[in-house]
Structures are given as C-alpha cells and as structure tokens.
C-alpha cells in the first residue's frame, strides 16, 4: 500500500511538473511572438539525395550512382596511422570520381551521400532504383588484421561467394538487413531471372574495372571477387563494390591519402564505367 501511495504521489508530481513545463514553454512562445507549437525544431535532412550531376553535353545520358561507403556514426575501417577513417576517404574519392565523370561528359552522376551522413544499405540502393540508374558503384577501403595485405579489388554480385573471405565480408556488410525476396513463386522466378542478368552485367563491369586498373595501381591477387551483397542486389542494376586499397597497410594508406594516386584510381574507374555504358548501349 505504501508503495502504491508513493507511486501515485510520484505520478501526480510528474503530471504537475509537465503542466508547469508546458505552461512555461507556452509563455516563452507567446513572448517571442511564435504561434506554432512551442517545441524544439530539429532539422532532419533527407536520408539520401537524388541530385543529378552532369554537363549540358550529357543531357539524357545514363545515370551512374556513386556510393561513398559508410558515413556519419559508421566510420568504417580506421587508418593504420590512427588519424583517418574509411568514411572520409570514400567520400573524397567519390567526389573526385563524380567530378571526373561530369567533366568527361559521357554519363550523368548521382551520389548516395555528398557529406558525412549515415545511410542504411537500403537507402543507398534505393537511390539507384528511384533514378533508374544504369549502374551502381560502391566505394570502400579495405582493412585486414594482416598489416602486409595491400592492393585494390572489386566485388560483383553473386549468389555464391568466390571464397570464404568474400563470403565473410559480405555477411559483415549485410548485417541487419532482410534478404528475402518479396512475393510468391512466380515473382521469385521472375526476380531470379532478373538477378541472373544483373549478376552477369555486374561481373562484366567488374572485369572492365580490373582491366583498366592493371598497370596503373596495385591490385590484390585475384582482384575480381564475388559475393552476395545486399546493397548490390537491391540496387537492381549492374553493381560493384570497389575496394581501393588497404588502410590497414601503411604504404596503401599513404597512397590513398595522396591526390595524385587517387586521380589514377578515379580515371580507371571512369574509363571502365564509360566503356561499360557504351558496350551495353550497343546491345
């Protein structure tokens, strides 16, 4: 009984405090001449933006979505020097690639993020679907416990991983996402057919990228790998995940922080993207 009385009193006290607080807020609002609700206004930016970048020459050209990996409260991997995060390098490279592609004028470009914000994988993929994008390119920097591991690699969408490391990597990337296809058996068959063609087009894009990179910057052994990445599948367009190098390796980190080295990477990516768009427009 004593407990009940106490909690009733506590409740009554809380109600009184709340009434007093709202009266105070109403007074403040009245004094400041505000007519709207006297509450804090928190500006929430849209999760991803659909802005399209392109030169006048590129009007009507295919749209390539560039996805700077990580962002906001998700820093990604940490550089071995300790003073740079993957999310910063992915954004820098994404902006450089965008600017290159816009200058070259053969495609239009959209970015899943152009600032330091957190996006879910679904929000990233949804940009490509909304814009009916011709391609989705996700940019990342690798990291490994072995500090000697270095070089770039590219992953394309597959239902079977090329190796255990790729499977593990995709599972880590996909954490927290739902991977079931919606709808019944017919829809499952249709989406399976669409998925086969998406996987084969993604593999073509990845091999073009490897070809353009050879001799320009270091690649991992077997640089083209396959895995079931949620973000690539949900983009519903040819999609690859490019790992520009290892920020857990001291030499690679220096290179990835170097604008000249990144410009070589961006050029190879731009040429592969343009070659892929050109090849598919001939079919």
Binding site for Zn ion (CB under 5 A): 69, 76, 140
- Are the C-beta atoms of residues 157 and 224 closer than 8 Å to each other? no
The DSSP element (H or E) to which 136 belongs, if any, is: strand 135-142
Reference 54, options 96, 112, 93, 101; nearest CA is 101
Q: Give min distance, CB of 178 to Zn ion, in A.
A: 21
Cα–Cα distance for residue pair 183/161, rounded to 1 Å: 25
Nearer to Zn ion, 140 or 262 (CB): 140
Reference 276, options 243, 242, 246; nearest CA is 242
Nearer to Zn ion, 69 or 238 (CB): 69
Q: Give min distance, CB of 65 to Zn ion, in A.
A: 17
Q: Give min distance, CB of 93 to Zn ion, in A.
A: 12
Nearer to Zn ion, 143 or 158 (CB): 143
Q: Give min distance, CB of 156 to Zn ion, in A.
A: 16
Q: DSSP code of 180?
A: P
CA torsion through residues 270, 273, 277, 283, sign = positive
Q: Give min distance, CB of 123 to Zn ion, in A.
A: 16
- Are the C-beta atoms of residues 53 and 109 closer than 8 Å to each other? yes
Cα–Cα distance for residue pair 33/121, rounded to 1 Å: 43
CA separation, residue 272 to residues 4, 38, 253 (Å): 72, 54, 24
Q: Give min distance, CB of 189 to Zn ion, in A.
A: 33
CB-based closest residue to Zn ion: 140
Nearer to Zn ion, 62 or 69 (CB): 69
Residue 163 has φ and ψ, to the nearest 5°, of -160, 170
Nearer to Zn ion, 77 or 277 (CB): 77
Nearer to Zn ion, 53 or 169 (CB): 169
Angle (CA) 132-138-140 rounded to 5° is: 170
């Amino acid at each position: 009984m004593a407990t009940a009385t106490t909690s009733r009193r506590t409740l009554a006290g809380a109600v009184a405090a709340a009434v007093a607080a709202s009266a105070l807020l109403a007074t403040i609002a009245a004094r400041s001449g505000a007519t709207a609700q006297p509450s804090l206004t928190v500006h929430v930016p849209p999760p991803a933006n659909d802005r399209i970048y392109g030169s006048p020459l590129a009007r009507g050209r295919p749209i390539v979505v560039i996805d700077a990996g990580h962002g906001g409260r998700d820093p990604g991997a940490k550089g071995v020097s300790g003073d740079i995060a993957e999310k910063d390098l992915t954004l820098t490279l994404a902006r450089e690639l965008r600017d290159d592609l816009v200058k070259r004028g053969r495609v239009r470009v959209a970015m899943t993020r152009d600032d330091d914000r957190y996006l879910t994988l679904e929000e990233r993929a949804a940009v490509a679907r909304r814009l009916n994008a011709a391609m989705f390119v996700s940019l990342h920097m690798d990291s490994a416990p072995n500090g000697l591991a270095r070089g770039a690699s590219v992953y394309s969408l597959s239902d079977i991983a090329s190796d255990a490391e790729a499977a593990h990597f995709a599972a880590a990337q996909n954490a927290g996402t739902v991977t079931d296809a919606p709808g019944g058996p017919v829809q499952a068959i249709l989406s399976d057919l669409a998925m086969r063609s998406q996987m084969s087009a993604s593999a073509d894009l990845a091999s073009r990228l490897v070809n353009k990179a050879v001799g320009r910057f270091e690649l991992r052994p077997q640089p083209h790998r396959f895995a079931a990445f949620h973000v690539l599948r949900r983009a519903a367009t040819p999609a690859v995940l490019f790992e520009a190098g290892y920020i857990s390796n001291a030499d690679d980190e220096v290179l990835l922080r170097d604008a000249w080295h990144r410009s070589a990477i961006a050029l190879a990516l731009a040429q592969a993207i343009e070659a892929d768009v050109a090849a598919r427009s001939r079919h």
